[in-house]
Structure 1
Amino acid sequence: MSVDGWKTILVLGGIRSGKSEFAESLVADAPVVRYLATAPEGDPEDTEWATRLAAHRARRPGSWTTEETAGEPRQLAHVLESAEPSETLLVDDLGGWVTVLLDPDHQPADDLATIVELAEAIRTCSARVVLVSPEVGLSLVPTTPLGRAFTDALGAANRAVADACDAVVLVVAGQPAWLKPTAGPPTTATAGPPTAAATAATTVAASAPVSLVDDEPTPEVQLPDVLTPTPPVAPNQEPGNPWAAPTMTLPMVATGLVIQPGMELPMPDEYAGPQAVDRLATLDVPGAGLGVLERVVGFAAATQGTSTPLAWESVRVLLLHGDHAGGASAGTVAGESARRAGQARAGRGALARLAAESGASLQVVDTPAAAAMENEPALTPEQVESALRYGWRLAEQAADAGVQLLVLGACGVGTEAAAAAVLAATAGAEPPAVLGRVITDAGEIDDAAWMIRCAAVRDALHRTRSSPRGAKDVLSELGGGDVAVATGVLLGATARRVPVLLDGPVGLAAGMVSRDLAGQARHWCLLADHGGHPAVRLAADVLGLTPLLDLRLDLGEGANALAALPLLRSVLALAAALPVHPSLAGDAAPAEDEPGAEPDDAELDPDAEPDFVEQDPDAEPDFVEPEPAGPGPASTTPGPTNTVPGPTSTPLDEQSASGWRAG
């Protein structure tokens, strides 16, 4: 969502004010949006109304789902009450809902009680909700009883919903004016739908830095740039088309854009890496060298295509937020992952602080929630396709923004169990061997929760024992939304030649899945530290990713990599700046004024002719046999003495012995 710090927002505005477009821009970062349409279909003969509805549908990305709630006024409250914390809902609009509420078919009814019920459902809803409603307080009092009843009911609904929402914004002529809270939100979101020409990411500037201890503003603390993804929308997008969201480099098939097994993606430069490592041996380093960190230089050289790689300047952190239901979430506190994600959006927490210190931008990405894998597939095949394309677009947006390194992290509930299930399905691992211990908030080991997670993975593997083990099948049955989006990020980054710094089980599980889609992806990945996690260790061993460090950091996925990033940058900067050791600089000729240098003959006699003779370039050079290392063979056979005519006659035997050869 482009507005951080609030979970429920009411968007008010007059007719054609741009309120719907503004509301859609607020949820543009969500991979899947449940669009709750409240307006009835209307008169089938009313073509103008049908055209308006078609325009609304055409603006919705293909990953959104549309649900009609016009049949029963109380249905909207029921949907809000049953929504999951990871979901994003867009209600458009309350005017249509009030119209259905006042319909004679639903009378007699207590309209006020229904409005109170809706407000209470919004107040207790665990999902992110954006509601759109017409503002009728500035118009004239209608002259008909039905019109007055509508304005009265809508005014009461707007007041009740505004009181229940965390934020309220009034859109006038396309310009948002924030009414609640009065200080306004830290956002740069503008009204209007996202377009293909829109920027790849919108920077959310904080109104005041936030303290690490409490919520009091502390201007001296630097905040990271918090970004929200802006998926492009095709101008001629077909409503409901799952392939509608465009990408730049995805392969094409008859059905449209597709991510499929066996894709041919680029590989890093196979020569630049070894050349960079060989170059390190020639540098003026006062010691044994960089040790295992030489691999950082080789990796950066291969991915940058040069033997003298530079330190990564532009870094973006992608924090994937997606929960897993069922036994995978055993031992976790309800709402903890949402709190972590909200903390990162507000520029607080370990990840945001480390991102600020490293000068990295932070992008919090909500992914589809995964169902209980022991009972049913974690995702539908359609959700897997959408999540893969969404991750690919995130990598494309980063590449277009000039990002030189992506850091992949996650903060969802149940990610360790999902990664263990993926490893069991792709590498034949035993769940107990790759599931880390469950640590409570009090720092205690929860063995009961660990056993529940093991049982959930075991049951999921038993349920899918006859299922295919293809990449998309594993994501659908076991992986979930965060692993699917992470897989798309790895593939998209590989296509755009952007290296990825992995951290934690989600990124490594995505690396395991990406092998079947494009084996080149793992060569663009770097693992800073395994963090002591058994799943990360096993997956890294299978993928051939040797951890650079053994710090056993456990700050959360993404934060461990950011803690090691300054060291990696320092190594690259040092390797690029150090000169060649003087002893390896080559045998330089003596300086002109160097003591002991022999003067040139030309310097002794300025009138002397040069000691070379210009020759015809077309003439073949005479062959001269080199001088023998020792004395040549001596002829003992007597015979006539042959001589070469000339001023000084020399015996041929002597000439042969001296190395000169005739003929």
Structure 2
Amino acid sequence: MSWNSVLVLGGIRSGKSAFAEALVADAPAVRYVATAAGGQDDPEWLARIEAHQRRRPQAWSTEETGADPARLTALLTEAKPDDTLLIDDLGGWVAALLDPANQPNDDVATVTALADAVRTCAGRVVLVSPEVGLSLVPQTPLGRAFADAVGTANQALADACDRVVLVVAGRPAWLKTSPDEPGIVTDVQAEDSKSDEPGIATDVQVEESATVEPPAAVSAAVTAQPLTEATAAERPGIVAVAATGDDVPEIEPGMDLPLPDSDAGPDARDRLVRLDLPGTGVGALLEAVEFAAATQGTATPRAWGPVRVLLINGHHTGGAASGSDPAEAERRAAQAEAGEGALARLAGSAGADLAVVRVPESGAMEDGPVLTAEAVDAALRQGWSLAAQAAADGREVLVIAACGTGTDAAATAVLAATTGAEPVAVLPRVLVPGGFYDDEAWMRRCAAVRDAMHRIRQEPRGAKDLLAQLGGADLAVAAGVLLGAAAVKLPVLVDGPVGIAAGLIARDLGAQSRHWALLPDAGKLALVRQGADVLGLTPVLELGLDLGEGANALAALPLLRTAIALAGALPVHPALLAEPGDGGLDDDAGFVEPEPDGPGPASV
């Protein structure tokens, strides 16, 4: 670990707390130190505290020091080497310190003791503090005392901490890295969206200092640059993709795509009962064996080799995104690009490479079309090109993953429009960090889907129409991936709302595409199960995984590979051989009772 302590500064609603939480997101357990005191009679203040609590993972413990600010120094002194402390924030600590009931004899000595405790703390520490030096001098004596005390504390702790970062409008600017390095000031540049191009999102890029890299431990929380070949080469397992959609055939309903081998799958199933297995077979994994055999065109399939994960990062606006935090989705994408987070870890364990595909923002489905017809065509072509590129790079399987805002509602709307499903029965609940459900946000999403369905009640329901009216760019790219994969005979693993909704769209453009898709695990979502049933996709496993779209498939991938490898590599049981080295008894062969003088091999 390259740092032991970080001071996170920022103004009100600057995003400093969320940034600090991201710094310790990979810690197995965190002690969250809440410094706020009072406010029991203030509903708005209590709502703020509740919002912070909902963001915290359940594995975190909480310690409150508002009633005893001296407890903060003691917690730092008592911390063990494997402890991680997140202190939010020093403003609350200073406010409690200024309370006449807690007023110390020497304010400066108290702050110095806290800085010394941070400097010598054995565990990891992240401190959040308000930056009060950019506002006007308060007009009241108490306000001036607070600003002076926080300013003094910030200076002392900035000197004590290994790293210091200022968060402005959700964007970090590194002020301190290590004593022998110049400071990093992150330059955030936003390119204005072109008003005459609907569906094109503002592109925000973070440019880092050319001479000093930001700390590796916190890079996951920094908004990342679009991945290039140069940066991808520095991150094992991360690939840059630049699919443009060039050289892609016209994508229209009724496309004629290849089908898997219709005989190889049943032949592989029949062969399994004759293999030299100690038990009775591979159980539910038979579905994966048949799929691999059909897509490879052989009754003796081999385990899949290189895998590519396509993480589609798309955003929907309006009611579909209620309860979603775009910054959280962007953090997930940045994690993946940095080779960090759950998806990247699972991909690394499975020997898969990972590409983040950022797509244009989609409009509010309740207000009108979410994409233009031209944008739909471009997204479909891009997805097709991504699949073709993966095949050209030697990948043998694709995994569709997704992180974005509003994707569940968009997938629900497509499922409802395609199959007649009842949206309120399949729309997933809105889970917020900390394991809490936001049912008000869920109701707003339901309303958005309902209004969108009412709006298009007399509109055409073709596959492209649904993408333009409801699905958006992320579903269009995913549908293009499924179509392109079928065209190049590349299997695809799907396991979430985006993949399933895209499968329904792709089926209506090229019916053969669904035969190249496999559902490793249906998870817990009714949306996925119902859509998979319509597509004829039987889940291989019933693990009930809920790790995020794409992560479920990667978690199951090693088990699928094992079953396929056994089915392809194990020989026929010796008792079923007419003679050594043959392929086993055929369907017309039978057994002859052994001669009385000994068991011997069966003869035909």
Q: Which TM bucket (shorter chain)?
A: 0.5 to 0.7
Report the Cα offset of residue 179 of structure 1: 8.2
Secondary structure in 2 matching 1:316: strand
Question: Per-residue displacement from partner, 1:429-465 (whole Å, max 9, x unpaired)?
Answer: 1101111121121211221111111111000000111
How far does the alpha carbon of each residue in 1:312-366 deviate from its partner, in whole angstroms, 9 at most, with x for none? 1110000000011111111122411111101110111000000011110000000
Question: For residues 100-142 of structure 1, what are the alpha-carbon distances to aligned partners after superposition, in whole Å with 9 as ceiling and x for unaligned?
Answer: xxxxxxxxxxxxxxxxxxxxxxx8698xxxxxxxxxxxxxxxx
Partner of 1:300: 292
Q: Give, in whole Å, the separation in 2 of the partners of 1:485 and 1:289.
A: 38
> Does 2:437 align with 1:408?
no
Equivalent residue for 1:180? 209
Match of 1:367 in 2: 359
267 and 351 in structure 1: CA distance in 2 versus 1, 3 angstrom threshold: same
Residue in 1 that maps onto 2:237: 225
Match of 1:246 in 2: 246
1:385 maps to a residue whose letter is: D
Residue 390 of structure 2 corresponds to: 398
Query: Is contact 2:329–2:404 with CA below 8 Å preserved after alignment?
Result: yes
Give how far 1:469 is off: 0.2
Aligned to 1:380: 372
1:259 partner amino acid:
I
CA contact (8 A) 2:495 2:552 kept: yes
The 3 A distance-change label for structure 1 pair 520 and 185 is farther
Q: Secondary structure at the match of 1:277?
A: helix
Contact 2:521/2:545, CA 8 A, preserved across alignment: yes
- What is the CA distance between 1:394 and its match in structure 2? 0.3
From the superposition, tell whether residues 568 and 204 of structure 1 become closer, same or farther in structure 2 (CA, over 3 Å).
farther
Q: 2:187 aligns with which of 149, 152, 164?
A: 164
Task: Supply the distance in 2 between the matched residues of 1:506 and 1:473 (Cα, whole angstroms).
Answer: 17
**Counterpart contact for 1:504–1:557, Cα < 8 Å:** yes
Which residue does 2:277 correspond to in 1?
285
- Report SS of the residue matched to 1:262: coil
Asked if the contact 1:203–1:226 (Cα under 8 Å) also holds between the matched residues in 2, the reply is no
In the aligned structure 1, how far is the partner of 2:230 from the partner of 2:350? Answer: 17
Residue aligning to 2:97: none
The within-5 A match list for 1:427-442 is: 427-442=419-434
Q: Is the 8 A contact 1:203 1:225 kept in 2?
A: no
Deviation string, structure 1 residues 50-101 (Cα, Å, up to 9, x no partner):
xxxxxxxxxxxxxxxxxxxxxxxxxxxxxxxxxxxxxxxxxxxxxxxxxxxx
Is the Cα contact below 8 Å between 2:315 and 2:326 reproduced in 1? Answer: no
How far apart, in 2, do the equivalents of 1:205 and 1:467 lie? 44
C-alpha separation between the residues in 1 aligned to 2:381 and 2:531? Answer: 24
What is the match of residue 518 of structure 1? Answer: 510
Distance 1:516 1:282 in 2: 39
Give the deviation of 1:300 after TM superposition: 0.4
Pick one of 531, 538, 546 that aligns with 1:539: 531
Kindly report which structure 2 residues correspond to 1:92-171, keeping only aligned pairs within 5 A, or say none: 164-165=187-188
Counterpart-to-counterpart distance in 2, 1:500 and 1:530: 15
Shift of 1:588: 6.5
Q: Structure 1's 163 and 569: CA in aligned 2 closer, same or farther, altered over 3 A?
A: closer
Distance, in Å, in 1 between the alignment partners of 2:302 and 2:453 is 45
How far is 1:246 from its partner?
A: 2.1
Q: Is the 8 A contact 1:408 1:558 kept in 2?
A: yes
Q: Does 1:499 align with 2:491?
A: yes
> TM-score, structure 1 length as denominator?
0.54
The 5-angstrom pairing of residues 250-269 of structure 1 reads: 250-251=248-249, 258-269=250-261
Structure-2 separation of matches of 1:588 and 1:339: 59
Q: 1:273 aligns with which of 231, 240, 265?
A: 265
**Given residue 500 of structure 2, which amino acid in structure 1 is its aligned partner?**
L
Structure 1 residue 202 displacement after superposition: 3.7
Alpha-carbon distance in structure 2 between the residues aligned to 1:165 and 1:479: 31
Does the aligned pair in 2 maintain the 1:275–1:307 contact within 8 Å?
A: yes
Tell me if structure 2 keeps the 8 A contact 1:224–1:360.
no
Percent identity of equivalent pairs: 58
The total of aligned residue pairs comes to: 380
State whether residues 302 and 569 of structure 2, in contact with CA within 8 Å, keep that contact through their aligned partners in structure 1: no
1:413 aligned partner, one-letter code = T
Q: How does 1:318-333 map to 2 (within 5 A)?
A: 318-333=310-325
Give deviations 1:459-516, integer Å, cap 9, x for gaps.
0000111110000000000001110000000000000000000020000000001111
The verdict on how the C-alpha distance between 1:277 and 1:552 changes in structure 2, with shifts beyond 3 A counting, is same
Pairing partner for 2:562 from 541, 565, 570? 570
Deviations 1:203-248 (A, max 9, x none): 74475xxxxxxxxxxxxxxx7511111236xxxxxxxxxxxx522x
CA distance in structure 1 between the aligned counterparts of 2:211 and 2:433, rounded to whole angstroms: 36
Q: Does 1:582 align with 2:574?
A: yes
Structure 1: 5+ residue runs without aligned partners? 1-122, 127-161, 168-177, 187-200, 208-222, 233-244, 252-257, 590-595, 598-663
**Could you tell me which residue of structure 1 aligns to residue 180 of structure 2?**
none
- Identify the structure with the greater helix proportion: 2
Deviations 1:137-196 (A, max 9, x none): xxxxxxxxxxxxxxxxxxxxxxxxx973489xxxxxxxxxx982314699xxxxxxxxxx
Distance 1:353-1:203 versus aligned 2 partners, 3 A rule: farther
Given the superposition, is the C-alpha separation of residues 483 and 230 from structure 1 closer, same or farther in structure 2, using an over 3 Å criterion? same
- Partner Cα distance (2:537, 2:208) in 1: 51
2:440 to 433, 437, 448: 448
- 1:376-425: CA deviation from partner (whole Å, max 9, x where unpaired): 11111111010000001000100101110000010011111001000011
- Among candidates 326, 338, 348, match of residue 356 of structure 1: 348
- Matched residue, 1:38: none
Give the aligned partner of residue 92 of structure 1: none
Name the SS of the counterpart of 2:278 in structure 1.
coil
- What secondary structure is seen at the aligned counterpart in 2 of 1:467? coil
C-alpha distance in 2 between matches for 1:380 and 1:487? 16
Offset of residue 556 of structure 1: 0.8
Cα 1:230/1:470, change in 2 over 3 Å: same
Superposed, which structure 2 residues align to 1:19-38 within 5 Å?
Answer: none
CA 1:163/1:511 → structure 2, altered by over 3 Å: closer, same or farther? Answer: closer
| Superposition map of 1:337-348 within 5 A | 337-348=329-340
Q: What secondary structure does 1:411 align onto?
A: strand
1: CA distance between counterparts of 2:464 and 2:170? 32
Distance 1:554 1:588, change over 3 A: closer
| Distance change in 2, residues 1:163/1:551 (3 Å) | closer
Q: Is the 8 A contact 2:366 2:455 kept in 1?
A: yes
User: 2:300·2:569 contact (CA, 8 Å) conserved in 1?
Assistant: no
Alpha-carbon distance in structure 1 between the residues aligned to 2:280 and 2:208: 63
* 1:520 to partner: Cα distance: 0.1
Tell me the SS of whatever aligns to 1:331: coil
Name the counterpart of 1:475: 467
The alignment's C-alpha RMSD in Å is 2.9
Instruction: Kindly provide the amino acid, as one letter, of the partner of residue 334 in structure 2.
Output: G
State how far apart, in whole Å, the 1-side matches of 2:451 and 2:565 are: 49
Instruction: Note if contact 2:319-2:448 (Cα within 8 Å) is conserved in structure 1.
Output: yes
**Which SS does the other structure have where 1:229 is aligned?**
coil
